[in-house]
Structure 1
């Protein structure tokens, strides 16, 4: 098979969450274990860091990968979903895996695929582990796909576990309370392995503490809450970058960090990353302050991160953000309140299984909307989205495809306006270069 034929096979032969939603979610680790056993358990041949959470796990994973790269470690990075190229999911030192590897891996494992019928995600996890082992990485940062306890990535025993936060998302699979969702994500906590919690709530903190305490006879895990060890004392948003002053409660030290990821929600992720670095240093990883400073200034360059308050055009300002759930849209709204523009235009599309009404209720009525959809079966029809939005006094146009919507927004905008594309990772991924 050619590379394109291989992708067609993977996308069309295997149940894919981005296309069909919950039906593609396998509620056990059996297939992943079987796949990795057939590959010689590659996940045991490299060290790893495991990152879960409702929001922020992608940014946190990329920041940590950038820091480890800068510290001189050969660093793997597994994230999902991809925006443009399938190989974005599997990188080493910021470079995507090669097309030949994807093709050869799929051909090698195809008989087992036909036998056990794994999901698309299960195959990509096994592919990533096999690639990282073959590349002999020093460490791989592994982002959880969905939940944690039953996520395919949860067959690793990492150096460190991280849970960024808990919010309302994927309730049809993870549970209808914050405690239940936290319980699923706490499933990545392993005996004796330290865990960093980025943000906690009164409902979720006891869940993490019980899991880390090792109830039911399981050995305990050291647990660290990032929000209690450091805090942001000041920050500035200048020229689409963040300068953040952070105080350390343990040493009364203040440090300023410059981030090339300009979304103000990165303030919370930064505290999580800094505590993660501290725990890695405690375990003997050689990472000094200058390396952290240097890496945070160029995360996008080092790792290829896109879609996090990403500015792709000036005059008018065009911003892409993959925020798509309640907490993600709240963070976008906070960012909008700090952004000066003459008129706001929002190009928006969502998938059917999100809490669409609750998201729409958070959006500003003063903006002009361009309702659209990603080209996947899960996408909510643009006319339906337009009708639902009207109930929240959100008015605008409807388009079958995101680039047509964006073109119209640019046509309508003045040089002092802002255009935001958001609501779906898949929608942002379909935006072509302006």
Structure 2
């Protein structure tokens, strides 16, 4: 077979980008949460999501790490695993992955073009269309199991169409307040909407009040069994270093020492949630959990304490995430001086993020990520006025490429953080593959 000609490659790339442009156009206007459209859409597609078991994961912080850990364990056990996450860093195809391989551009183009009339007829949103594509692709690829990450909230998120074998809610934080509520309790209530009757539930938040609320919601939903951190398992003796995070996990009086290559105190808890998902599902899943220590070394997660010296990438799009990055920098002894390149979306707590980053970085360069949505870009005049009053070591470089170039001058470590757009744009310019092992 002859290799594709440059002209055909160009035509394929053009068709892919055109299909994505039409898909992203579906993000226009107000968010339209709810399950009616995606239910009808998947019904018209033959309900592909019912052809394989699903693990469902929600949470403000930690869900990405939990998904990545579960993916590594299940693949290590020899299963064919579909993984659906959002958003992407560099390429849209990162969202839909089977056994570590992203959905091909050709397959994405074919699905979007082929189903565009149906998507338009039903008024499907960007995320509903993408979710339906992912769930259909997993069926076509005959996966043994899929891991599905919630996009926004839980109760009304398009992914809540799945009937999982087990669902987990990780740590709750303040995010998307306009949709989920302005208290941790309200946000937790929305995320608890993924708990379903007859499916196992895992409560991963470590704070007693939120943990109790999530447990109550799971029991009210008819979930069984319900496993709760601190009650049904304990995580202790956490040690973080440059090689990862080790900890002691105790379940039913049995103690194991486990290590994940993910760096950070809370990665011990995220790992424990992934293991609890397997235990709660029982049967063959619980059998896999007992061997999980063998598979943890292969865990990888794009854009989360992702190290390519001198660069260190972490999306850290809220103050809690930024504080975690700083703690991890201290734990691994990242070489100084540290320069941080930061761009935060205006609806995020950029003040809290910059205050956290300033605890580790000798210099902070604030900039504008090229792909940041125009209606959500932060105002650098406001940022600089505030930084001067706070006495933070902040300089402004509006051009993103200039910020990356200057960041390397005199720095032993360059941290890129603030949003998926910031990290993804930097990885693309620096030619760092987010899915590389």
Q: TM-score, normalised by structure 2?
A: 0.88
Aligned positions, number:
414
- Counterpart position of 1:386: 384
Conserved 8 A contact 2:342-2:416: yes
Aligned residue number for residue 407 of structure 1: 405
Q: How does 1:3-402 map to 2 (within 5 A)?
A: 3-12=13-22, 14-15=24-25, 23-214=29-220, 219-238=222-241, 240-255=242-257, 257-280=258-281, 282-285=282-285, 287-288=287-288, 291-300=291-300, 305-313=301-309, 317-340=310-333, 341-364=335-358, 367-375=362-370, 376=372, 377=374, 378-402=376-400
Deviates more, 1:180-189 or 1:105-114: 105-114
C-alpha distance in structure 2 between counterparts of 1:85 and 1:428, whole Å: 12
Matches of 2:399 and 2:263, distance apart in 1: 27
CA distance in 1 between partners of 2:118 and 2:72 (Å): 35
CA shift in 2, pair 1:9/1:384, >3 Å: farther
Query: In the alignment, is residue 433 of structure 1 matched against residue 436 of structure 2?
Result: no
Q: Is the 8 A contact 2:150 2:157 kept in 1?
A: yes
The residue matched to 2:284 in structure 1 has which SS? coil
2: distance between equivalents of 1:93 and 1:393?
A: 48
Q: Is the 8 A contact 1:42 1:130 kept in 2?
A: yes
Relative to 1, partners in 2 of residues 1:69 and 1:396: Cα closer, same or farther, differing over 3 Å?
same
Q: Deviations over 1:247-291 (max 9, x none)?
A: 315224232x232222333122112122223223x2332644674
Whether the 8 Å contact between 2:278 and 2:289 is mirrored in structure 1 is no
Asked if 2 retains the 8 angstrom alpha-carbon contact of 1:6 and 1:106, the reply is no
Structure 1 SS opposite 2:408: helix
1:430 counterpart SS class: helix
Q: Distance in 1 between matches of 2:96 and 2:401?
A: 27
Please say if residues 227 and 271 of structure 1, whose CA atoms lie closer than 8 Å, have aligned partners that are also in contact. no
1:421 corresponds to: 416
Going from structure 1 to structure 2, the CA distance change for 1:401 and 1:292 (only over 3 Å counts) comes to farther
Q: Secondary structure at the match of 1:180?
A: helix
The 3-state SS of whatever aligns with 2:263 is coil
Structure 1 pair 14–86 and aligned structure 2 pair: CA distance change class (3 A): closer
* 1:54 and 1:165 in contact (8 A); partners too: yes
Native 8 Å contact 1:75 1:141 kept in 2: yes
Q: Is the 8 A contact 1:166 1:200 kept in 2?
A: no
| Offset of residue 97 of structure 1 | 1.2
Report if the CA contact (8 A) 2:263-2:328 is conserved: no
Q: Deviations over 1:297-351 (max 9, x none)?
A: 1122xxxx311111111xxx32110111122122123223334333221110100
Cα contact 2:387–2:394 (8 A) shared by 1: no
The alpha-carbon deviation at position 243 of structure 1 amounts to: 4.3
Q: Alpha carbons of 1:219 and 1:56: their partners in 2 closer, same or farther (altered >3 Å)?
A: closer
- TM-score, normalised by the number of residues in structure 1: 0.89
2:167 counterpart SS class: strand
> Relative to structure 1, is the Cα distance of residues 374 and 119 closer, same or farther in structure 2, using a 3 angstrom cutoff?
farther
Query: Structure 2: how far apart are the matches of 1:165 and 1:235?
Result: 18
Q: Go from structure 1 to structure 2 and tell me whether the alpha carbon gap of 1:392 and 1:16 turns closer, same or farther (over 3 Å shift).
A: farther
Question: 1:221–1:248: structure 2 CA closer, same or farther, 3 Å change rule?
Answer: same
Q: 3-state DSSP class of the match of 2:191?
A: helix
Q: How far is 1:172 from its partner?
A: 1.2
Does structure 2 retain, via aligned residues, the 8 Å contact 1:78–1:141?
yes
Assess if the C-alpha contact under 8 Å between 1:189 and 1:195 holds in 2.
Answer: yes
Q: Cα distance 1:261–1:24, how it changes in 2: closer, same or farther (>3 A)?
A: farther
